[in-house]
Structure 1
Amino acid sequence: MTYLKELRATLQKTATNFIDCCNEHTVDAILSLRTDTCKHTHLPSSLGIGTYNKAEYGAFYGRFADMMKDCSCRIADDKEMVVDVESRKVVMHVKNKGSTPLGEYENEYMWILTMTEDGKMIQEIVEFCDSAKAIELMKKQQAQTSA
């Protein structure tokens, strides 16, 4: 019983650390808790973003990192992490808000993190975001680079 309690606390800590890494807005930080084989899947699939391995996600995230420096991720106010110790999964409802060079940005996500056996590293991330907000940001970014 103590082992499961400790693993639960470790899973929660890793998930919290992941949010902290997101708030550093660097590729190194965003990749730091991922295993070498970590897969990151973006949903809904209608966004056309798909699944990235660790290196691919670093390149993808690198396109947005600098402009997100004044944004902050946090667990939604009225929500808690859902922790499934047996499957080593943590589900979080996360909000991101702040200003970017393209204007104010606000989005919300459901993240499903699957951790290693010891709960200290992330093996898989499934990210479901507000697709309208994501598309809006991508269009603004494309317009800026086309100008």
Structure 2
Amino acid sequence: MTSLAETQKRTALAFLDGYNEFTVEGLLRVRTEDCVHVSLPASMGRPDRNNEEYAMFFHQLERVLKNFKMTTLKILNDPDQHMAVAHAKGDGETPVGAYKNEYVFFFYFTEDGTKVRRVEEFVDTAFNAGLLPKLSEYMASKAAEAQR
């Protein structure tokens, strides 16, 4: 019989591997139907997203992020609290340069550990502050070109 700790760790790894699949289905596979995805730090001003909202956000991301690879660096797991923390990095390519982000995910699991009911994701704010304005400018120029 698999222990709760092993199940939670497998679920956390499956969550992160969903980014390597880079599909909405892969990203939502181990989330509960009412899962909430919180983007941190709050100073970035990103809203909390349910699965439908996260899927819409991801569709925007997949237009500009290619060859994405999520690498799990470490996972700390607490089965008594039905939580785990993962440190990961993501690498990919965008039309405006290399994508190299770093993450810390807090996972809150269901009682049996097979689903994530809440995820809190910290991102590298310095990296995002440099990349996001360039990506926004690129996307605006593409939209303007499409209107011509």
What is the TM-score with the length of structure 1 in the denominator?
Answer: 0.89
Identical positions, percent? 33
Q: 2-side partners of 1:18 and 1:67: how far apart?
A: 21
Q: Deviation of residue 44 (structure 1)?
A: 0.8
Pairs within 5 Å for 1:1-147: 6-76=3-73, 80-147=74-141
Q: Once the 2 structures are TM-superposed, how far is the Cα of residue 100 of structure 1 from its aligned partner?
A: 2.2
Q: Where in structure 2 are there 5+ consecutive unaligned residues?
A: 142-148
Aligned length: 141
CA-atom RMSD, angstroms?
1.5
Would you say the 8 A contact 1:74–1:95 is kept in 2?
A: yes
**Structure 2 letter corresponding to 1:59:** M
Corresponding residue SS for 2:21? coil
The secondary structure found in structure 2 opposite 1:52 is: coil
1-side partners of 2:72 and 2:7: how far apart? 17
How far apart in 2 are the matches of 1:32 and 1:70?
20
Q: What is the deviation of 1:19?
A: 1.3
- Higher Rg: 2
Unpaired segments of 5 or more residues in structure 1? none
Instruction: Indicate the SS of the match to 1:72.
Output: strand
Report the TM-score, using the length of structure 2 for normalisation. Answer: 0.88
C-alpha separation between the residues in 2 aligned to 1:122 and 1:18?
A: 8
List structure 1 segments (4+ residues) > 3 angstroms apart after TM superposition.
Answer: none
